[in-house]
Structures are given as structure tokens and as C-alpha cells.
Structure 1
Amino acid sequence: MDNPRALPVTVIVGATSKWQPDGPNTRFVHGRDVGQDLPAERRWGLGGALARRFAREGHHVVLTTRRRANAEALAATIDHDGGSCSVVELDVGSAESVAGAFASIRTQAGDPDVLIYNAGYMAGRELPEDQELLEHFPDELFEEAVATACRGPFLVAKEVLPAMRRRGSGSILFSNNQYSLRGRKRSTGQSLYYPRTMMRALAQALTEEYSEHGVHVANVVVDGFIDSPGTRALPALQERPDLLIDPVGIADAFHYLHRQDRSCWTHELQLTAASGAVSV
């Protein structure tokens, strides 16, 4: 492994998919772990594909996750492929955890060149069908949504922006979803996804404030289900795998955004499978 301080640094907040074989979404929806026969490019969903893409481009990739064990298999794969990476525990709901994690990142690897915010939540899925309206939502579900989609992006952006501004370069890329643009009647827990619109608004505000300082901020809307062990096992997607979005293609789009010439930066990018989006 190369000396991480000699490489550009990419931090991926939420580096492991909740839909990986033993992820919380996978276990909740399927009631069990699922098979791990997908190739490495899809085994860890978008977080894994992003990590592998930027590592392949010569970046030291910092995988952040609530529990180190969640990212150990992904880190081992990157190391095996000759990439450079490290794992740092981080809870986006805790200001102390975020500050401590980034202090560790700066000490071990240096100031980040790229920040990718990929943390997510699946609010409301655990509620009975007759309690899907906002009036039934427990306050703690709302707190989780705000911590993940609003407070978390604010805290991590605040950690990297000073050095990016002083350096005159850097990329902050938010991984968002279709709920930041619109609601869907057929899907459960719609009201609890509205904090996603605040993530989008933060990206807009940071673009206005920091573009002139050389910081590229973009909101990437992934409009559909990302291919991963947990999503591929969903009955509707087993019948229509063409509706799944390849995380490798998404990772290519993120790297494209980072490499864009500053005279023509993209602020918002929407990615949708050619076959259309699906609600499950």
C-alpha cells in the first residue's frame, strides 16, 4: 500500500450498503441474510463501487461506517486489488463522532480532496400499512431522518470546506434519491423522506457560496434501486433485473463529476435505469 499522505484523499461517508448480504435493510425486508454470489463491483452497493472506483484512480479511500466490522471485507478487497484505503468509524448523528473521525482522517491521510456523502435511511418501512401517514410516525423516526439527510451532510461538509477553500479545489458530492425531487404515493413512509430535499438545498447553497473558491458541489439523484444482494433478491426485481441501476455506472458518474473542468461544472445529475424507475 502506498503512503496515504502522498495520495489524493477521498472520504466516503456511508461506505457500505444497507442492502449488502447482511445489511439491515436486507435483513428487515427479507428476514434473513441473502447470498453473496454477486461480483465485488455490486456486493457492497454504491458505497463499495465508489470506493473501488476512486481507489483504482489512485486515491487513498477512507471508508466511514458506524462499525468498523461493516467495512472490513470491502477494505480487504481494495487492498487485494492494490488500492489504498482505511476504515474510520463515524456516526453522522453525532457531532462529536464526526469531529473525531475527521480529526483522525486528517492525521492519518491528510485533508480530503473528495467528500462523498452516501449515508441513507429507510424510514417508515417498519410501520404497519394502516400507519403510513405522518400522524402515526414516532418522533425517533423523524430524528433519524433529519440526522441522516440534513444534520449529517452539514456536519461533514463543515469539516472539509475550510481546507478545500484554502487550497482552491475539492469536490463534495451528495448521493441523494428521487424523494429529494418528488413523492411517490405507492411507496411507504413518504413524509419521512422530505429531509432529502434539505440535502438538495444544502448542495445548492454550498454551490453558491463555494464555487468561487474552487469547490465543486453536486447533488446526484439516483432514481431507482441500486443493484446489490438485498435489492436483487426483491421479488419484483428478480422478475425485472433490468430495472436495477448498476453501481459501477453510478460510480463512473461520480468520478466524472470530480474530474470535470471548472468552466462547466454540473451541479445536479439524475441517474435512472433505461427501463424506468420502480417502487417496491
Structure 2
Amino acid sequence: MELGLKQKVALVHGAGGGLGGAIARALAAEGATVVVCDINETYLAATCEAIESAGGKAIGKQWDLAQIDRFKQWHGEVVDAVGPIDILCNNTGGPPPSLVQNIERDVWQRHFNEMVLSVITMTDLVLPGMKERNWGRVITSASSGVVAPIANLGLSNSLRSALVGWSKTLAREVGPNGITTNVLVPGRIATQRIVALDKAKAAREDRSYDTVVQESVATIPARRYGDPAEYGAAAAFLASCQASYITGSVIRVDGGLIANV
């Protein structure tokens, strides 16, 4: 299937990591020029190299989601280098595991800025150009916790859920402009984030890491963790011309993990 992404420009945050990197590679494979953004220059360079080695087009941009006051400048630099953004993939890092009780106010504020306000600010920067061209895609990575809250991930469940409400509201506002906005929900995808969460659970419960993984896999109908490439493929489809009638949706890529209908 031709996704119609040739000549499009995509900006992917957190593209040095597992999910963001997979999205960046998938979009590049479909012919988009990808702006690879990450705070870690080493990881950022690795994703760019992987894309270019496969024949794709990528440029790297170090981007700290905590420095929201610099977003306008960085966005301008990107547009000057490759042109206006057609596809924005909002992908932020996850906060540390925690209960939802008794979290210090400054911790709430810091993670709200990095996980919610950064996404809203970046999207507001690209929307005017998308409206001018009457075409755009905004894809926001969340967590299965927005559908069924996950124990001991209080910060993530709360903050990512705010983005679902925002994305749904935005879809109604920008739909007449040919812009779609959707939330992509990963289940247990085999990334370093999942490894860290499984190890933290093993340590917390004084059990072996392998036992925790085996029990986790047993709860997934597909009986395995997802491949990041499968997540990237779902994002590429949502970015495509064929997905122009999908907006305001929450799309699960979870192997059937989430029990809720």
C-alpha cells in the first residue's frame, strides 16, 4: 500500500528511544523526511544513521522537552532547514513508577511540563502551517494506562490521560482543516522502558526478572511482547493519506492486552 508520505516532513520527539525510533524509521521508510529529536545526542545519531543506512532521509535535532521556552526557536530552525512540518509525532519519556498519593507538587509540575505542556506547545507551533496547507497529522503516544490505569504508575496514568482529552477536543477543532489528531496506545512493547519497569517490579516484589516477564507475557493474548517496528507501522498508517478519516481516536497496539472494550 502506498501511504502517500513521500515529500512529507515529519518531526518525531523521543526518536532516540524504542518507540520514537521505531516511528521515525517507519515514516522514513515510506519516503518522509524525518526530523529526529531527542535530548540524547548519541541515541539521536544512532536513529539518524539507521534511517540513512536504509536509504531514508533524516536530520537530527537535540531537543529538551523541559525547555519549553526554546520550542519556538527550535521549530523555526527546523522549518528553515527542511520546510514546514506535515506530521508531528509527540512522544515523551515516561515518569518513574509511583503511587498517585503524596507526590510533591514540584514533581507534578515538572512532569506536567515535560509530558503535557510540551506536547500542547509543540502542536500549537505546527498547526498554523498545517492549516495553510489544509493537511496535517498529529500523533501522540500515550500508555495503556489511559484506558485501564496501571498499578504503581500514578503519574503516567494521570498526565497521559490529560492528553487524551486534549487530543479528542483538538480533533473537532482542526478536522475542517484537513488535520487529524490521534492517540496511539502501546501495550507491552519490547523497549528499554519495559525492561526497566519489569526490573523495578522484580526488585519491589523480591522476585526474579524472568518470572516477572513470563507472568506478564501470559496476560497478553498474543503471548509475546510487541516489536517496536509493529508500533512504528501503526503510526505510519495513522500519518498516511489513507487514514484521513481516522481522527479523535485512541488506537491500541497491545496484542489484546487491555481487557476493557
Q: Does the alignment reach a TM-score above 0.5?
A: yes
1:205 maps onto 2:169 in alignment = yes
SS in 1 for 2:142: strand
| Equivalent residue, structure 2, for 1:253 | 234
CA offsets 1:240-269 (integer angstroms, 9 cap, x no match): 653412221111111111224466324321
Residue of 4, 9, 21 corresponding to 1:48: 21
| Equivalent residue, structure 2, for 1:82 | 55
Per-residue deviation, 1:120: 2.3
Q: Amino acid of the residue matched to residue 157 of structure 2? A: Y
| Number of aligned positions between the proteins | 235
CA offsets 1:97-138 (integer angstroms, 9 cap, x no match): 21122111101001011000011222345xxxxxx3522x12
1: CA distance, partners of 2:214 / 2:34: 32
In the TM superposition, 1:1-280 aligns within 5 A as: 7-17=7-17, 45-125=18-98, 132-135=99-102, 137-184=103-150, 187-191=151-155, 193-222=157-186, 224-229=187-192, 231=194, 234=198, 235=209, 236-237=212-213, 242-261=223-242, 264-268=245-249, 269-274=251-256, 276=257
Per-residue deviation, 1:69: 2.5
Structure 1: which 5+ runs fail to align? 1-5, 18-44, 126-131
TM-score by length of 1: 0.76
**Cα distance, 1:212–1:67 mapped onto 2, change above 3 Å:** same
**Cα distance, 1:232–1:196 mapped onto 2, change above 3 Å:** closer
Contact 1:79 1:85 survives alignment (8 Å): yes
**Cα distance, 1:76–1:202 mapped onto 2, change above 3 Å:** same
Q: Amino acid of the residue matched to residue 225 of structure 2? A: L
Q: Amino acid of the residue matched to residue 252 of structure 2? A: Q
Q: Amino acid of the residue matched to residue 101 of structure 2? A: L
1: CA distance, partners of 2:134 / 2:100: 46
2: CA distance, partners of 1:230 / 1:123: 10
**Cα distance, 1:196–1:239 mapped onto 2, change above 3 Å:** closer
**Cα distance, 1:70–1:97 mapped onto 2, change above 3 Å:** farther
Contact 1:142 1:192 survives alignment (8 Å): no
Per-residue deviation, 1:272: 1.5
2: CA distance, partners of 1:271 / 1:133: 25
1: CA distance, partners of 2:22 / 2:243: 25
- After the TM superposition, which parts of structure 1 deviate over 6 Å for at least 4 consecutive aligned residues? none
Per-residue deviation, 1:77: 1.5
Identity across matched positions, percent: 20
Per-residue deviation, 1:198: 1.3
Contact 1:52 1:78 survives alignment (8 Å): yes
Per-residue deviation, 1:179: 2.1
Contact 1:121 1:148 survives alignment (8 Å): no
Per-residue deviation, 1:277: 5.4
2: CA distance, partners of 1:134 / 1:8: 44
SS in 2 for 1:112: coil
**Cα distance, 1:231–1:193 mapped onto 2, change above 3 Å:** closer
SS in 2 for 1:62: strand
Contact 2:145 2:156 survives alignment (8 Å): no
Structure 2: which 5+ runs fail to align? 1-5, 199-208, 218-222
CA offsets 1:31-64 (integer angstroms, 9 cap, x no match): xxxxxxxxxxxxxx11111111111111111111
Per-residue deviation, 1:238: 5.6
SS in 2 for 1:93: coil
Per-residue deviation, 1:220: 1.4
Q: Amino acid of the residue matched to residue 228 of structure 1? A: T
